[in-house]
Copies of this chain bind each other. A is one copy, B any other.
Amino acid sequence: MTTRTRRTSEEDRKLAKTLKESKAPAISRAAAILRLLGKSEAPLGLQAIARALGLVPSTCLYVLRALVAEEFVAFDPDTKRYSLEAGVLTLARHWLKRNQFTDLVQPELDRLSQAFDVTMLGVNIVGLDHMIVVAVSQSGNNFQLSAQIGSRFPALISATGRCIAAFGGYPDAELESRFNTLRWDDPPTLDEWKGQVEQTRAQGFGVDEGNYITGVTVVAAPVWKSRGALSHAVVATGIGSALKRTGLPPLQDALLSSAQTLTVQLGGEPA
């Protein structure tokens, strides 16, 4: 490891850009630190954090101290290492408490996961950047696919991604450039994908058969929280071969019906 290591990862570039444009760069720095600490296996020291994010150590120190004062970051005075603090749980609790979508989907997810022996997810769509899993129901019978509340995925990936592309109302150019950054086990070509998005728009739900994860089939149906504002999705995931046996159509129908019910309950309607 030489003294001069220019490490400018993708994350760094994004952070650097945000910092330039923002009128409150300390917050971008804080968020980057929180995410880094979240990803990290072990607590990190000041230098490690500053280097990983391309921050000035002294600035980084001040941000860390503020985060410690706010109880988002824990500081061990003995080792001088930083890690996430339990305070982040409190925010999550508040979010869950106030969110009606989670309350409304949970029974639907439980019902569908039982009926079709699949893992059901409720996801929140956050702009064109990400979707976040906010509710889960596992069937419990078969091999369980791991998926946890709080998991983040790129917006356009898998079946849900096709829904977002189909119903999000984003310009083609934007979609294409983001499509190119996605990682799939078995990537579709852009043309294939566009065709699938078109099909999603036509039939009202999206399907991913082994593209995102080999052997896994994903079906997703969109939920609107107000006119034209695509906000959530109901998602079913299962081993492709197992789903083939029972047949996809009944699941797709049930999923679509659930999503439509939820849209009504949330006071929304499709664009």
Contacts and interface: CB of A to CB of B under 8 A. Distances in A.
Given A67-B27, A69-B18, A84 B95 contact: yes
Contact of A88 (B18, B28, B88): B88
A28 B66 CA distance: 7
A26 interface: yes
Interface residues of A, number: 57
A148 B138 CA distance: 22
B95 A88 contact: yes
Contacts of A84: 91, 94-95, 98
Counted per complex, copies of this chain come to: 2
Interface stretch (A110-118, A149-157, A208-216, A256-264): A149-157
Contact of A31 (B18, B70, B89, B94): B70
Contacts of A237: none
Contacts of A22: 62, 65-66, 69
Given A22-B66, A90-B152, A91-B34, A126 B27 contact: no
A91 B94 contact: no
Interface of A: 18, 22-28, 30-31, 34-35, 37-41, 62-63, 65-67, 69-72, 74, 78, 83-96, 98-99, 124, 126-127, 129-130, 132, 134, 148-152, 226
25 contacts: A22-B69, A24-B65, A25-B66, A27-B66, A27-B67, A28-B69, A28-B70, A30-B30, A31-B72, A38-B90, A38-B94, A38-B98, A40-B98, A41-B98, A71-B130, A74-B126, A86-B124, A87-B126, A87-B152, A88-B91, A88-B92, A89-B96, A89-B132, A90-B150, A91-B91
